Amino acid sequence: MNREQSEPKNGSMQARVIAEMRRRIIKGDIEPGAPLSELALAEEFGVSRTPVREALKQLQTEGLVEIRPRVGTFVTTPSRREITELFEMKELLEGAAARLLARRGRVAEIDLLERNLREADDAVERDDRERYAELVQEFHDLLISGADNSKLEAHYRMLMNQLAYSRLVNTSLSQPGRALQSDREHHLVLGLILEKDGDSAEHVMREHVRSSRRALLAGLPIAGPHGRSGTAGS
């Protein structure tokens, strides 16, 4: 009976550690390449090392953590190649989402996207890059949810976790003129969706993602001797 009671408790602890560590890594609160101590995390969360160890294993399967035997556990630092490959998948998924949303007509996400762009225009005009970065993520999230395809959305969420996209956006937007160009591209995509031109919406959305990838890679430091860049951002 004690075992039956402890297993759900350990599972709950593990889930809590996973959720919080995932949030910190994705938001950029923990830098890429930073070491993670099982003991320190166990003390912080007030749990034994077992749920922490299992949580880190789960985060490794999600591509957020790298466990090096006899060395330690570290926040993953994606290489330029890995970022390129992940953005290629992002391009496919977001292009498909734009096409699917264009078929649906005037759904609730359209109103939210229009509001998003009004706020984005204002953020760009004020040169509020932090706010615009938040609105960029919201725009893409609304596009995915508006596609109304649970399988597409599940793959997209996993992909965004692997990219740790929140910590990447600012690097892309740091390139001169990128915020204004990004805003214009979002307007063009939504305009095509409103016209129910799914083919063009998909094409323009894919080009938008490619442009974001180019801006991101231009802002990343040169890869080190092991083929991994020193930081990640977009």
Nearest alpha carbon to residue 184 among 160, 159, 165, 212: 212
- Which CB contacts under 8 angstroms, 24+ apart, belong to 62-71? 62/22, 62/158, 62/161, 62/162, 63/161, 63/162, 64/21, 64/22, 64/25, 64/26, 64/161, 64/162, 64/164, 65/21, 65/25, 65/36
Dihedral sign computed on CA atoms, order 133, 135, 136, 140:
positive
Residue 174 pLDDT:
81
Distance spanning both ends of the chain, measured CA to CA: 50
Residue 221 pLDDT:
64
pTM: 0.74
Question: What is the edge-to-edge ordering of all strands in the sheet holding 72-75?
Answer: 35-36, 72-75, 65-68
User: β-strands 35-36, 65-68: how paired?
Assistant: unpaired
Which residues, 6+ apart, have CB-to-CB distance to 218 below 8 Å?
175
Residue 23 pLDDT:
84
Average pLDDT, the chain: 86
**What's the CA gap between 55 and 52, in Å, rounded?**
5
**What's the CA gap between 29 and 58, in Å, rounded?**
19
Summarize pLDDT for 7-36 with one digit per residue, the tens.
Answer: 445 568 889 999 999 888 877 788 888 999
Per-residue pLDDT band for 161 (boundaries 50, 70, 90) equals confident
Nearest alpha carbon to residue 75 among 140, 137, 27, 114: 27
Local structure of residue 79 (DSSP, 8 states): B
Alpha helices in 28-79 (DSSP H): 38-45, 49-61
